[in-house]
Structure 1
Amino acid sequence: MSWGINIREATRKIEVDHRIPLKFYYKTADNLLKQANIYRQENNIIDLYILLLRYAGIIAETIPFHRDYSASNHTEKISYKKKLLDVLRELECLRPQVEREINKVNREHALKEQIRLNNASSSRQSPHSRMASLWPDNKQTRHSRLTLTIPRPANPEVVPSAPPIENLIIDDDAPLQSGSAESSFVDSSSSTTENLSKRQDEGSSNAASSCIICYEAPIEGACVPCGHMAGCMSCLNEIKAKSWGCPVCRTKIELVLRLYAV
């Protein structure tokens, strides 16, 4: 256990060292009882319990194995044995309450550790994890969401927010070449580009011009045919490859078009 209170570790046996005089072990035992009395007055039962266990360990498991113990004063031995019996009786009385307190403290430590790990995990969440959270895992659920939230135009003649592009091959990694196809699309999307420029000129936040998927790269691509400018080319191409649909309206992406603001 890396957190909380470990009674066994706090009261491990003290091995006898014959180079240390026996009287120092007795002195240590007396000091433990003095400190235990302070904890008793403070109603600090956990530390009191630990010190009493240490005292019992020194008297019963360390001092009797010292080479000078057999020749030590008999009256002194009897006195410490009586104190040991009183300590053992107090330990038995304290045990149930101490166990409850230790369990309570350890649970609090465990809860704090779990909260810390969850916060650390959230801070390390990758942009792709945030991207995946925008779409439900179940395809049927995704389809139901589309049919509920995206009304289809009754008139098939209605033009989408961005014009459909037919018989046009566009290299995502290269700028658009001059020509009639480029002119028609740039003209039709000029209002969208102007609106975006106006929002930036009016002092909107950086988040408004950043990719809504990774929150890092600038918005540089549009989904065709819906025409929503929602993300960077890297994120939008990955969404198109996974057939997830536009991140704004979930319309199927036929093409990701790179836009260049002048």
Structure 2
Amino acid sequence: MYKKPKLELQTTTLWEYPSQHYGEGMQGSKNYKGATPSWVIWNLLKRYTKDGDTVIDPMCGSGTTLDVCKDLGRQGLGFDLQPQRAAIVRADARHLPVADGSAEFVFVDPPYSTHLKYSGLPECIGELDADGGGYYEAMTEVITEIHRVLKPGGHVGVYVSDSWRQDHPFCPIGFELFAIMRRFFVPVDIVAVVRHNRTMKRDHWHRSAALGNYFLRGFNYLLIMRQGDVSKPTKTRAPKPPPLTPVAKPMPRGKQRKKKKHRI
């Protein structure tokens, strides 16, 4: 039986852990596409928060952040356009229903352009292409909202990957979001998180990359920044939120969506 290695703080800017989840249990759902590795969130919260602190995840997905918060004694607040469980509040990440300066930490794992299908709603940022499709404008609104809800001296972690697709230009999403974030926050560091997934182990994908002269995505950025030591939170706000599109109930756990055409 496979035994996961000991969970401990990463001490370099190259993070690697061979599993999506840590410990005996599971954080979030293993069947949720695009789920954040829970040990990444664990490392961030161990470094930048303490017992009882409030942590916000504005794109909470299957609730990985909430589970890590529970393990560490933090108060987790999760929001998503398509909540996967009752503890997650339905809201747009650009218009969070919380007061200014509410959180000591904000974590967000946003869509990386249109690589995965999420809610399919028109207001979903996952429907926006990073190749000129309004993606960065929408993410600027998300970052503005994070700036509003974060306490002075608090931290934010953004977990994201670049985007490349056949017949499309390369989109350096990590660099672009870093540039946007530094308008609002003080940079702390950039971490490269090595990806371990089944895609990276498929020989035919590697053969195709060699023959096609392109690269498979081998790491994610973890952009870490700090809220400036200002006397009070910013009053800059995103525009008034439009009404959310009605959605059906979440898909049953374990039900998979069809994979889209080769995108990395």
What TM-score, normalized by structure 2, do the two folds share?
A: 0.21
Which is strand-richer, 1 or 2?
Answer: 2
Mark the structure with the bigger radius of gyration.
1
What TM-score, normalized by structure 1, do the two folds share?
A: 0.21
